[in-house]
Structure 1
Amino acid sequence: MGYYYIYTHMLFCVVILLTSWVGWQISQSTGNTEKVNSIFSWPYVVLLIDIFLVISYFIIIRGGEIDVNHHIQPPSAYVETFWSMVIFITYLFWDVITKLRKIEFEPAEGTQYYRKLKLSFNIPDNLF
């Protein structure tokens, strides 16, 4: 059985899924911890990006060299390369939405404060 490239494909899928899950799980970004209260909000956009990432992972996994008729195709890294690029670009956009937003607390009546979210493209001090 000379189909080692299929095992390599599956190993790549496991590595990219596990590292993405761990990174997402330990993320303490402001935009990653907010609850979705409306479809017209930043947390909803983050949710849509997360769903797109899950679909992208599924495409990479399904893009192995076995077609729908269970025939093994010649080795090709096109699916893995293209969708890995899409995932990394999506994570770049996800980082902008979740990490570069600035939360400001503005005073209301008396000693009450309310949150005001702004998209800020200032690079945080602890980024590097």
Structure 2
Amino acid sequence: MKAGQARGIAEDWVREHASPEEWFLGAYSADPSSSCQITTNCRLVQTRSRLSQHLLKTAEEVLSSYRLAGSFRTNAIIADPTGHLQRLQLDVGKHFADKRWVRCRCQNAMRRIKAGTRSDSSGSTHS
């Protein structure tokens, strides 16, 4: 399936199933070829995981996250009834390549990697 087709399916699904809900605040695609992600008033609901909405509160929060910043580098917004995601995307897109934010995302990724290796207490060896 092509990215445009996937986006069309996501837009249809959002319009039919999510937009009418009172919890719905917007939707964006993390990857134009992936399933869409839907913002609720307290969670960002993804296919099988949940992400706190506070991570989408400011451009600084998004710019500092290696997991989120790429999703807002360009306009991948599917629905945005409040206009918040559009404003967020414009700010993130404008500052995405700034050295300050690139370094911040690299540090964010390294912290997560180090935390993950410390929490791996399985004792198994990897070859």
Do the two structures share a fold, i.e. TM-score over 0.5?
no
- Higher Cα Rg: structure 1 or 2? 1
Q: What's the TM-score once normalised by structure 2's chain length?
A: 0.27
